[in-house]
């Protein structure tokens, strides 16, 4: 089963345009609009339906769903039943980020719980290629997440098989942390790798994203901005999402 067509066209159409078509025709710049993925980790869990409805009304593109197991990361967050509950109310694709050991054991369960995109951590997968293939076989987009210490060069042989790279811009496990400054350089190097390998992978930034760093991240090559506390701690979350979405950056291609 594939994700709904409008989703595929909207989300991955731009990647194809950037990586394959435009370089053939032009050296012009391209005005990019980022994809925005509010992270429900920062939502009010006692009012989850209300907060998902807010994301539905907003200009957000995806809903980011963080799964933590208390082993790969020190924290425990949400699992399959909560994913199902969010999916029942969500009108936007569910972007599931698995911060768990042996994520292969839960891919099918999260697909059945409504995941459209599933990212597994490079650091947790002995057989990463197999895990990505399994995710695609389930009809999801397949993402690889990398911790702040993991070099971009470790993705050399897998980048062509990934639909998404989640660049952790904080150490995974908690919301509300400050973005690690090395992220900007790392994203530029990842963008170069993606273009060199002719990969269609989108670059997602996860952790500490706010209005101050959004433009720099996009200029470096990011496509998707995850934002948790910046969105949910604001008096008007919809306005914050709209402001992030309006961070238009001219990127040379
Ligand atoms: C951190 C999670 C993030 C988190 C981001 O381990 O992967 O998705 O929700 O939250 P903020 O935007 O508050 O840093
Ligand atoms: Zn995340």
pTM, rounded to two decimals: 0.90
Q: What is the pLDDT of residues 135-179, one digit of tens each?
A: 999 999 999 999 999 999 999 999 999 999 999 999 999 999 999
Active-site pick, 69, 116, 206, 223: 206
Residue 22 CA to ligand 2 centre (angstroms): 30
User: How far is the C-alpha of 212 from the C-alpha of 182, rounded, in Å?
Assistant: 15
Q: State percent of the chain over pLDDT 90.
A: 85
Q: Is the CB of 63 inside a 6 Å radius of any atom of ligand 1?
A: no
Q: Where is pLDDT greater, at 21 or 38?
A: 38
In this predicted structure, what is the pLDDT of residue 26?
42
- Taking the centre of ligand 1 as the mean of its atom positions, its distance from the CA of residue 69, in whole angstroms, is 15
Cα-Cα-Cα-Cα dihedral sign, residues 48, 54, 56, 60 = negative
66 is catalytic: yes
Predicted confidence band of residue 7 (pLDDT cuts 50, 70, 90): very low
pLDDT at 168: 99
Confidence band of 202 (pLDDT split at 50, 70, 90): very high
């Amino acid at each position: 089963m594939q994700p709904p067509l409008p989703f595929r066209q909207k989300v991955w159409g731009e990647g194809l345009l950037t990586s394959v078509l435009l370089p053939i025709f032009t050296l012009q710049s391209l005005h990019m609009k980022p994809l925005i993925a509010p992270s429900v980790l920062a939502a009010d869990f006692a009012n989850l339906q209300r907060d998902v409805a807010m994301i539905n009304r907003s200009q957000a593109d995806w809903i980011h769903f963080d799964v933590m197991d208390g082993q790969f990361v020190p924290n425990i967050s949400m699992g399959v039943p909560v994913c199902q509950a969010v999916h029942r109310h969500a009108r936007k694709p569910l972007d599931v980020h698995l911060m768990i050991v042996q994520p292969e054991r839960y891919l099918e369960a999260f697909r059945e719980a409504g995941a459209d995109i599933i990212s597994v951590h490079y650091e947790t997968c002995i057989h990463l290629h197999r895990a990505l293939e399994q995710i695609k076989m389930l009809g999801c987009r397949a993402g690889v997440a990398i911790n702040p210490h993991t070099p971009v060069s470790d993705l050399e042989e897998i980048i062509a098989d990934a639909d998404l790279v989640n660049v952790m811009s904080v150490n995974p496990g908690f919301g509300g942390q400050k973005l690690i400054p090395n992220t900007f350089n790392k994203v530029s190097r990842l963008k170069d790798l993606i273009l060199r390998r002719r990969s269609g992978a989108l670059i997602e930034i996860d952790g500490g994203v706010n209005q101050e760093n959004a433009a720099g991240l996009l200029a470096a090559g990011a496509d998707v901005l995850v934002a948790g506390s910046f969105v949910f701690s604001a008096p008007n979350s919809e306005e914050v999402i709209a402001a992030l979405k309006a961070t238009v950056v001219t990127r040379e291609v």
